[in-house]
Amino acid sequence: MGAYLSAEDHKRVSDAVGAAESRTAGEIVTVVADRSDGYSDVALAWAALAAFTALGLFSAFPDFFLGKVESIAGGWNHDWTDRELLGIATALAIVKFLGVWAILHWQPLRFWLVPPPIKTARALRRAIDLFKVGAERRTHGRTGILIYLSMREHRAEIVADEAIASKVAPETWGEAMAAMLAEIRQGRCADGMIAAVEKVGAVLAEHFPRAEDDRNELPDRLIEL
């Protein structure tokens, strides 16, 4: 995986996090990931579908497939036994399964064939998993929040800890998401993350203003996976 952000971009995002946190007791964690999942199960499902489709076509048009086999065998007519028919059908299904499975090792095609709802669900699940590891209950007041961007899926998520979620409705983060995605669609990943950090920081400053004795409990640096 190639890095999506330069060292300078990392510094800019980290500085934006530090600036946002200077006005709030909230702790912002930023993560940019290449992908949220490998989708091997989706590739397996497509391969299985291809195999079953081949079996269905063989059942519907047996003469076509048997004619192909006979031409390969030298063009002689043949009285097929049930065992031979089963063997041909099985071989056809296996060839189709392995062929599609091999083709879907090409990542651009695999990601293109993943249904959008599955991409959304996997990105959210990955964001929640990362939040649990890196931010959940790791702050004194449970004021951690994760801004997550998954590049291959073109998905972004914001996940907040208990104290924030109890005061801020999920739809409140819509403005931050919109600001982030507007920049990312123009190819400005770092600017998108910075825009989201600024919007999130403003909401946190309103609900969780920084106390005099507040200390930085989570690293400000951008995490790129």
With tokens 């992908």, the residue in question is 35
Q: What is the per-residue pLDDT for 174?
A: 84
Please choose, from the candidates 99, 94, 65, 101, the residue with its C-alpha nearest in 3D space to the C-alpha of residue 80. 65
Q: What is the per-residue pLDDT for 56?
A: 87
DSSP code per residue over 9-44: HHHHHHHHHHHHHTTBS-EEEEEEES-S---HHHHH
Q: What is the per-residue pLDDT for 1?
A: 45
The mean pLDDT of 196-217, rounded to a whole number, is 79
Model confidence over 28-64: pLDDT tens digits?
888 888 888 889 999 999 999 999 998 888 888 877 7
Q: What is the per-residue pLDDT for 139?
A: 58
Q: What is the 3-state secondary structure (H, E, C) of 115-134?
A: CHHHHHHHHHHHHHHHHHHH
Residues in a beta bridge with 159: 146
Instruction: Indicate yes or no: pTM above 0.85.
Output: no
Model confidence over 49-102: pLDDT tens digits?
999 998 888 888 877 777 776 676 555 556 667 677 777 788 888 989 999 999
Q: Residue 218 in contact with residue 144, Cβ under 8 Å?
A: yes
Q: Do you know the residue count of the chain?
A: 225
Q: Residue 72 in contact with residue 130, Cβ under 8 Å?
A: no
Question: By mean pLDDT, which of 6-10, 66-70, 199-203 is the weakest?
Answer: 66-70
Which domains does the chain show, CATH number per domain?
Answer: 7-38+114-224 (3.10.310.50), 40-104 (no CATH)
Answer with the residue of higher pLDDT: 216 or 197. Answer: 197
Compute the Cα dihedral for 35, 121, 40, 88 and give only its sign: negative
CA pair distance 47, 55, nearest whole angstrom: 13
With tokens 């065998």, the residue in question is 73
Cα–Cα–Cα angle for 96, 102, 104, rounded to 5 degrees: 100
Model confidence over 130-175: pLDDT tens digits?
888 766 555 566 778 888 999 888 888 888 888 888 888 878 888 8
